[in-house]
Amino acid sequence: MSEQGQRVAVLGGGSFGTALASIASAKGARVRQWLRDPALVERINRDRVNDRYLPTFRIDDNVEASTDMQYVLSDAELVLVAIPSKAFRQVVRRAAQWITPDQILVSTTKGIEAERFTLMSEILLEETPSRHVGVLSGPNLASEIADRQLTGSVVASDDPVTRTRAQQALSCDYFRVYASNDRYGVELGGALKNIYAIAAGMAHSLGMGENTRSMLITRALAEMSRFAVHQGANPMTFLGLAGVGDLIVTCSSALSRNFRVGLALGEGKTLEEAIEALGQVAEGVNTVALIQKKAAEEDIYMPLVSGLHQVMFEGVPPHYMAKALMRGELSSDVEFTLPREETRSHHNDLTSSS
């Protein structure tokens, strides 16, 4: 079957889910989008605008919004799950009664469930009978996608059917979907980069320059890939769109919600004030605490996460984050070519011999 005529369901009424629904619909798919809010559903179907998240974007005429989850999921071949991580399991558990083993489920959520350090695709595997599970991640600012800015993304799954169907349904003249078989690495990249967007926003508020931002982004890449590889991801994944690509955009753009949280913290606002001013979910806030705890438990060296955690949750002034970056142990640049432990050993040897 070609992408023409695919039946696509979108769970979630946020900006990214709305943009993806329109892309699939404009390509000829039958698209139904589930939202909780009946008033917003009515406005979308009447005015073709999601005024809560993308107020200037006209939704494709053939996208049908509904609060009836069974109706939305009925005979859908591809289901895009665009639910914030806090509510992800709850919504998926509710949807599971209408999901079949042959339906393709693709998570677009960049987050981690706290209780058992569970990724969103793992929740899909745990809660549904689907045999086709993947993730979509990359440098995907929804407002730019809505403006039809050229954008690349990655669909990751060990299942070729999932990768192919998602590419067919969503690739168009301005949104190109690449394939990966490292679902865990792609998904971790999408979750971890949110942490460093907060750090980048904070650095910007503190007046740090381009040299600093370049160092911050590359050390963030080293840190997040170190963590992900320790969890079983492929280090090469982080050279692609879901790694360095997503990290660059989220650490450089005021459109990034996590970057804006960092800006507010750097201006002296409390974490609570920063979140309130944002008015939307910034997944990186919870991810900082999760990764700090996991890294401590598994003895993974993450000085940026540690410094950011102290600023956000322990009342340490924002400029401390810079000290965490500059005063960490002297180490290697790319530790997959020169292991950090080897550099540490050389320092110890020279110190003991002098």
pLDDT at position 1 over 50: no
Rounded CA-CA distance 213/211 in Å is 6
**pLDDT exceeds cutoff 70 at 207:** yes
The confidence score (pLDDT) of residue 324 equals 66
Residue 231 Cα distances to 215, 225, 333, angstroms: 24, 10, 21
pLDDT at 38: 98
Distance between CA atoms of residues 236 and 47, nearest Å:
44
> Which string of DSSP letters, residue by residue, matches 154-211?
EEE-S-HHHHHHHHHHH--SSEEEEEES-HHHHHHHHHHHHHHHHHHHHHHHTT--HH
Q: Answer with the residue of higher pLDDT: 181 or 344.
A: 181
Model pLDDT, residue 9? 98
pLDDT bucket at 22, cuts 50 / 70 / 90: very high
Query: Which range, of 49-53, 151-155, 282-286, averages the lowest pLDDT?
Result: 282-286
* pLDDT tens per residue across span 115-129: 899 999 999 999 999
- At 256 the pLDDT is 87
What is the structure's pLDDT at 319?
80
Looking at the annotation, which residues are catalytic?
193
* pLDDT band, residue 2 (cuts 50/70/90): very low
Mean pLDDT for the chain? 91
Per-residue pLDDT at 3: 45
Task: Return the structure tokens found at 268.
Answer: 């002296």
| CA torsion, ordered 121, 124, 129, 134, to nearest 10 deg | -30
Name the band, by pLDDT with cuts 50, 70 and 90, for residue 255.
Answer: confident
pLDDT at 209 (0 to 100)? 86
Q: What is the pLDDT of residue 172?
A: 96
Average pLDDT over residues 225-249: 95
Of 159-168, 216-225, 252-261, 268-277, the range with the highest mean pLDDT is 159-168
Q: How far apart are CA 86 and CA 115, in angstroms?
A: 11
CA-derived radius of gyration, the chain: 21
Mean pLDDT along residues 325-342: 64
Which whole number is the average pLDDT over 7-14?
Answer: 97
Type of residue at 309:
H
Please check the confidence at residue 4 and state whether its pLDDT lies above 70.
Answer: no
Residue 231 has pLDDT above 80, yes or no: yes
| pTM of the predicted protein model | 0.88
Percent of the chain with pLDDT over 90: 74
Torsions phi, psi for 9 (to 5 deg): -115, 140
- Average pLDDT rounded to a whole number, residues 59-85: 97
pLDDT of amino acid 354: 62
Distances (CA, A) of 10 to 26, 85, 151, 248: 14, 15, 20, 27
pLDDT digits (tens, 9 = 90+) for 279-331: 766 778 889 999 999 999 999 999 899 999 999 999 888 887 776 666 665 56
Share of the chain above pLDDT 70, in %: 90
Confidence band, pLDDT 50/70/90 cuts, at residue 76 = very high
